[in-house]
Structure 1
Amino acid sequence: MTGAITTLLVCQLAGELLARALHLPVPGPVIGMVLLFVLLLIRHGEGEEPPAALTQVADTLLAHLGLLFVPAGVGVVVLLHTLAANWLPLALAVGGGTLLGIAFTGRLAQALLRRLG
């Protein structure tokens, strides 16, 4: 189990280092997740199950995912005055970004279905 946690943390660290060193606009943990995916594909092949220890660690983290939102919630409460002062631009950004994301996903799904069909 320690090896699985270490694998996750090393992939996240590598992602952070790559994101900062190359000035990428993608968060380090996202790059680390892609690195972990590639590592699993290389070591275990496509269609094979990941190691049991890694699956157990991932399931445990996902089971306690709600606890990881506590710091973000505290940040929102601490900066509530800033949110109140800038509610319109924030609402437009969140609402517009959500609508654009949904529209893009729908168009991409349509294009992929046309390509398959």
Structure 2
Amino acid sequence: MPFLNGVTLLLVYQLTGEILVRLLGLPIPGPVLGMVMLFATLMIRGSVPDSLGQASGALLSHLSLLFVPAGVGMMTHFGRIADEWVPIALALVLSTVVTMVATALIMQLTTRWFVTPQRVEDEPND
């Protein structure tokens, strides 16, 4: 029963995100907004309920099965992918490089904000 409660909680947050996106006309996917709301709720609460932990653990253990529909979709459109492989490969490489550079710059910036440099004391002269 805890698994069912956890999955229900996940679906309620997803549904709430979908409703808010449609009502407010936000340009983000509803499930993403639902995840942000769930994250905020968990941060405020300070812990993960057992039912949610059990459900998310079970879903993560079978995560590879969730990629099957994407693989089937790729095989369905294999001809189109073969025809347009150059722009697809270029987009993948460029987006990877841009993501890596942005991540590195953000990491440098945030470490300057949050990591205080250690002060080295001068050693006394004998």
Give the deviation of 1:49 after TM superposition: 2.3
Larger Rg: 2
State which of 81, 84, 93 in structure 2 corresponds to 1:83.
81
Residue 93 of structure 1 corresponds to: 91
- For 1:1-117, list aligned pairs within 5 A: 1=2, 2-42=4-44, 44=45, 48-116=46-114, 117=116
Bigger RCO of structures 1 and 2 (CA < 8 A, at least 6 apart): 2
Structure 2: which 5+ residue stretches go unaligned?
117-126
Higher helix share: 1
Structure 1: which 5+ residue stretches go unaligned?
none
Give the deviation of 1:94 after TM superposition: 1.1
Deviations 1:31-51 (A, max 9, x none): 111011122234x2xxx3211
Deviations 1:27-69 (A, max 9, x none): 2221111011122234x2xxx3211111010000000000000
Match for 2:49: what amino acid? P
Structure 1 runs of 4+ aligned residues shifted over 4 Å read none
Give the deviation of 1:19 after TM superposition: 3.0
Give the deviation of 1:25 after TM superposition: 3.2
- Inter-CA distance 107–12: structure 2 relative to 1 (3 Å threshold): same
Match for 2:21: what amino acid? A
TM-score w.r.t. the length of structure 2 is 0.81
